[in-house]
Amino acid sequence: MSIIKEIHVPDIGDFKNVDVIEVTVAVGDTIDVNTPLIMLESDKATMEVPSPLAGVVRELRVKVGDRVSQGDPILYLDVAESVSAPEHPSAADEAASAGGPGEVLEVRVPAIGDFKNVPIIEVLVAPGDHVDIDTSLITLESDKASMEIPSPAAGTIQSIEVKVGDHVSQGDLILMLRASGADAAAKPQLPDALSAITLAPRSPKPETAPPAPPVKAMPPLSAPTRPLAAEVSTTAAPSFAKVHASPSVRRFARELGVDLTRVAEGSGPKGRILKEDVQDFVKQVMSGALVQAPTTGTPTAGYMGIPPIPPVDFARFGPIELRPLSRINKLSGAHLHRSWLNLPHVTHHDEADITEVEAFRQSLTAEAKSGGPRITLLSFLLKASAAALRQFPTFNASLDPTGENLILKRYVHIGVAVDTPDGLVVPVIRDVDQKNILALSAELGELSAKARDRKLGPTEMQGGCFTISSLGGIGGTAFTPIINAPEVAILGVTRSKMAPVWNGREFAPRLLLPLSLSYDHRVIDGALAARFTAFLAQLLGDIRRLLL
């Protein structure tokens, strides 16, 4: 005998609405544990989602072009009844096991990571309200993000035990919920023989984004009726990453096509944008009292008033071929463009005498032929950069969203730009200051291989404090690397060269390594950048200083 299991998207880090670029199984396929089900592609990497169970695919819930997040359904899998259930039951399963229909359940704050004493900024339900599974109950806001707490079960709200302004942690009581028998028995509709199988209730994923509601759904406006989406924003699905608003307000704004970055400071606590602020903004736009500034949606659309590059018909001059960019190139290009426009870049150039460290590296390389990791100059650069970041903590920092405070990081995670056939990716090596050269070389080789094989996980590309981009294997004398925001600096390295250097008595041949340090001038001035590169060059010139 077999049972049907619903397979969901697992934990993929901080990524949300990731594109499905390939479905690697079909209905009727027999799969094993860890068989790839779908291929996802974010702006940083491509990742496969493996199957947690073995069985036969009965129904697919996604297709190429869909966007998914953690917890979204992928497919229904027919598995043997002996297959054990997941070690960590869902919140809905826990609620169901707590009691049957009609029983009053305690709904508590679920696991929210390392956050504690998080303030409640919205209570989204009231006593007597009927809620379904995943209906948002309250909104929390930490110093990093806003999050909505969903209901683990369907039923009627009996009482609410919290209010706006309270601080809660994992396990704190939110409300009392009387489980609903009718909703608890609800099942998703499956075709033919699958219709009798018991499945956990889940809202179906829409095929496309819902259309913007018509203008008549808005409060009465004094201006003539015009298409709202075209007037409020010309950019589809704007990014509100740095906007001070709850998820429900963000969703409301997206439904109306409102760009929250254009809304003035909100009327809520600490300038938080409320639903009423969004409605007032729409009224101003519709009445003509507010004129939208140009926004950028495509490379030719212009950016905040910058004149766009006029299109050219190149076919008039000869044969052409249209070759689309890879998706990673498109998305990383947008990230680099945003960084270049928002950060005042300055690049400082210097040279490091690496004659001695190169001789030492070659001696280690000879020893490594017996089976150890391949030692490259980049391993020494990582170690020396970590020491420089400790010496100059301003480089190991980020500006907060207000631009008025500096967030100093007590850890040293360094990203390394890796060239792959699909574009540039930046895996992050963690705690570089706590690892030796051999350990760094082994980890660098492993991450570089995974990057080229498109097997980097999302957590392996997050949390960087500083980035190194090395073109030494290709050539060049200097360049201006673009800062990987929200970092404040990036080190570019080109090919080393032999040059005569005066030592006080004569010119002697020395191996010099060009260094190009780009930095955010809002945080770092020229003198500090010169001291940083001089200190880094000193460490590379005499690697023994890393022991001090």
**What is the DSSP secondary-structure string of 340-356?**
HHHS-EEEEEEEEE-HH
Instruction: Look at residue 288 in the predicted model and tell me its pLDDT.
Output: 57
Task: Flag whether 194 is in a domain.
Answer: no
Tokens of 473: 């294997």
Q: What is the pLDDT of residues 56-67, one digit of tens each?
A: 898 899 998 899
Q: How far apart are CA 215 and CA 484, in angstroms?
A: 40
Indicate if 521 belongs to the active site: yes
Task: Evaluate if residue 117 carries a pLDDT over 90.
Answer: no
Domain of 274 in residue numbering reads as: 209-323
**Dihedral sign for Cα atoms in the order 411, 48, 322, 476:** positive
Instruction: Look at residue 242 in the predicted model and tell me its pLDDT.
Output: 56
Total domains in the chain come to: 4
The rounded mean pLDDT for the chain is 78
Amino acid at 18: V
Residues 507 and 429 occupy one common structural domain? yes
Residues 379 and 495 occupy one common structural domain? yes
Contact 26, 43 (CB under 8 A): no
Task: Flag whether 108 is in a domain.
Answer: yes
Task: Flag whether 197 is in a domain.
Answer: no
Task: Flag whether 202 is in a domain.
Answer: no
Query: What is the average pLDDT across 136-164?
Result: 83
Residues 385 and 498 occupy one common structural domain? yes
Helices 526-541 and 377-391, axial angle in degrees (round to 10)? 130
Find all residues with CB under 8 Å of 132, minimum gap 6, and list them: 151, 154, 183, 201, 203
**CATH number reported for the structural domain that contains residue 359 in this entry:** 3.30.559.10
Torsion of CA 442, 448, 453, 457, to 10 degrees: 90
More confident position, 465 or 184: 465
C-alpha closest to that of 350 among 487, 516, 169, 196: 516
Peptide bond into 308 cis (omega under 30): no
More confident position, 340 or 185: 340
Residues 317 and 352 occupy one common structural domain? no
Instruction: Look at residue 100 in the predicted model and tell me its pLDDT.
Output: 53
**CATH number reported for the structural domain that contains residue 21 in this entry:** 2.40.50.100
Residues 82 and 95 occupy one common structural domain? no
Contact 261, 290 (CB under 8 A): no
Task: Flag whether 201 is in a domain.
Answer: no
Residues 278 and 333 occupy one common structural domain? no
Contact 75, 23 (CB under 8 A): no
Q: What is the pLDDT of residues 129-147, one digit of tens each?
A: 888 887 889 888 776 566 7
More confident position, 525 or 124: 525
**CATH number reported for the structural domain that contains residue 311 in this entry:** 4.10.320.10
Last residue of a domain, one of 323, 351, 366: 323
% the chain with pLDDT above 90: 32
Query: What is the average pLDDT across 39-47?
Result: 73
Task: Evaluate if residue 216 carries a pLDDT over 50.
Answer: no
Question: Quick one: pLDDT band at residue 229, thresholds 50, 70, 90?
Answer: very low
Task: Flag whether 369 is in a domain.
Answer: yes
Backbone torsion region of residue 471, taken as left when φ is above 0, otherwise alpha when ψ lies between -120 and 50, otherwise beta: alpha
Tokens of 329: 């190139």
Task: Specify burial of residue 118 (Cβ count, 10 A radius: 0-12, 13-18, 19+).
Answer: buried
Question: Quick one: pLDDT band at residue 509, thresholds 50, 70, 90?
Answer: very high
Residues 78 and 43 occupy one common structural domain? yes
pTM: 0.51
Instruction: Look at residue 201 in the predicted model and tell me its pLDDT.
Output: 34
Last residue of a domain, one of 184, 217, 237: 184
Task: Evaluate if residue 212 carries a pLDDT over 60.
Answer: no
Residues 173 and 98 occupy one common structural domain? yes
Last residue of a domain, one of 131, 149, 184: 184
Highest mean pLDDT among 7-11, 140-144, 411-415, 474-478: 411-415
Tokens of 11: 């934990």
Pick the catalytic residue from 337, 345, 349, 521: 521
Residues 303 and 346 occupy one common structural domain? no
Rg over CA atoms, the chain: 28
Residues 82 and 21 occupy one common structural domain? yes
Question: Quick one: pLDDT band at residue 213, thresholds 50, 70, 90?
Answer: very low
Residues 482 and 360 occupy one common structural domain? yes
Q: What is the pLDDT of residues 444-496, one digit of tens each?
A: 999 998 888 888 888 888 899 999 999 988 889 999 999 999 999 999 999 99
Question: Quick one: pLDDT band at residue 290, thresholds 50, 70, 90?
Answer: low
Task: Flag whether 302 is in a domain.
Answer: yes
Task: Flag whether 199 is in a domain.
Answer: no
Residues 318 and 332 occupy one common structural domain? no
